[in-house]
Amino acid sequence: MDDYKERLRRLAVHDDALLEAIAVERQSARSVIDERTEALMRLAATIAVDASPSSFQHAVAHALAAGATRDEVVASLEAVTPVTGAARVVQCAPKVALALGYDVESALERVDE
């Protein structure tokens, strides 16, 4: 059986050993995709679930440490828009901005003045 089919089957039946290995080791994803791509995907998931600001801080820091650029971080936010909807992206944009060290809400207040 192909490896991807085996992994999908094990995920579909909630194979605890596989799920723990993924959560703890995260080696399975890295054997197929590079660390930068994985980090950007994790950021996209963080956006999709509208995680806490600290989760955004962690996800963005991890993406940058893995070699992603600030433009790629913002592109990840834009890329999930068709799936998550504009409202979710608008809600998460300030969290991503803060994680990048940019207080967009403060900047918008200065524009209004």
Distance CA 21, CA 78 (A): 31
Which residue did the predictor score with more confidence, 1 or 89? 89
Band of residue 1 on the pLDDT scale cut at 50, 70, 90: low
Full-model pTM: 0.80
Distance CA 62, CA 13 (A): 30
46-103 pLDDT per residue, tens:
999 999 999 999 999 999 999 999 999 999 999 999 999 999 999 999 999 999 999 9
At residue 42, the pLDDT reads: 94
Give dist(CA 15, CA 94) in Å, integer: 37
**The predicted structure's pLDDT at residue 72:** 97
